[in-house]
Amino acid sequence: MKIGFIGLGNMGAPMAANLAKAGHEVSGFDVAGATAEGASVASSAAAAATDADVVITMLPNGDILRAVAAEIIPAMSKGAVFLDCSTVDVESARAVAADARTAGLSALDAPVSGGIGGASGGTLTFMVGGDDAGLAKAQPLFDIMGQKSVHCGPSGNGQAAKICNNMILGVTMIATCEAFALADKLGLDRQAMFDVVSTSSGYSWSMNAYCPAPGIGPQSPADNDYKPGFAAELMLKDLGLAQSAAESADADTPMGAAALALYRQFVEDENGRGRDFSAMLPRFETRGRG
């Protein structure tokens, strides 16, 4: 396929490179001048989108997505697929999809889970909202860039699935870090705690697959001085999106709201920016109840 790829940052560049490596013709554009291995360099977002079978975007937020969509939709060929892999607010995803459909395009919102490692290794999970025709055309690309794609329903539902998942992740990571800090103060060995919790009712992905305690469980960012696999500021962004959606939907999400407040404090006031979201553990280690 001929693919336009717009947004070649830490996630977009390896995704585009994997598509090029698989033999697709990839034309990439990034406003900061970043490139992707194997992709040609387009002069603009519209140039990358021109005559493409599929245009993929990986962008920072909904406002930028809307601006890029306004530029590229008129340049795209009727019947092409607009595949947005950004994590943005549900309202922006649905508005862009509506504009794309009006222009005769298929629209998919397909945010990802798996982080930079998943983007590089082609093991991402895609949460997809949009029409069946677009999904059928994009499926071979999902198979190259990831290991799983789940069709979650109409446009916007991919974003809904992503923010619900990451609200759970933020809450459970905080609970896991709190529990390790409490175990320390009660004199409970961390390995013993892991051995109990990881095989008991406290089991979670945060504990079992991404343990925030260095030297415990499978290797994780905790074993690399909390250099980010998933940065705390990205978790803050996703928790903010979840709370915005909860407000729009009149949903009661007190744990999600508490997690947002804690990550905001961690990132903005406690030097959490640039650290992995599991670095909440050393934060709790140094704090008492006051």
Residue among 80, 232, 193, 30 nearest 16 (CA): 30
Which are the contacts of 102, defined by CB distance < 8 A and separation ≥ 6?
Answer: none
- Both tokens of 190, joined, read 């961390």
- Catalytic residue numbers, as ranges: 162
> Running DSSP on this structure, what letter comes out for residue 276?
B
In angstroms, the CA 200 to CA 114 distance is 25
In angstroms, the CA 250 to CA 70 distance is 30
Sequence-distant contacts of 119-127: CB under 8 A, at least 24 apart: 119/10, 119/11, 119/12, 119/14, 119/15, 119/145, 120/14, 122/18, 122/146, 122/147, 123/147, 124/15, 125/149, 125/150, 126/85, 126/150, 126/158, 127/152, 127/157, 127/158, 127/159, 127/161, 127/162, 127/165
In angstroms, the CA 223 to CA 235 distance is 20
Which are the contacts of 173, defined by CB distance < 8 A and separation ≥ 6?
Answer: 206, 210, 212, 235, 277, 278, 280
How far does CA 204 lie from the centroid of its chain?
Answer: 19
> Running DSSP on this structure, what letter comes out for residue 221?
G
Secondary structure (3-state) at 128: strand
Alpha helices in 30-185 (DSSP H): 45-49, 62-72, 90-102, 115-121, 132-145, 157-185
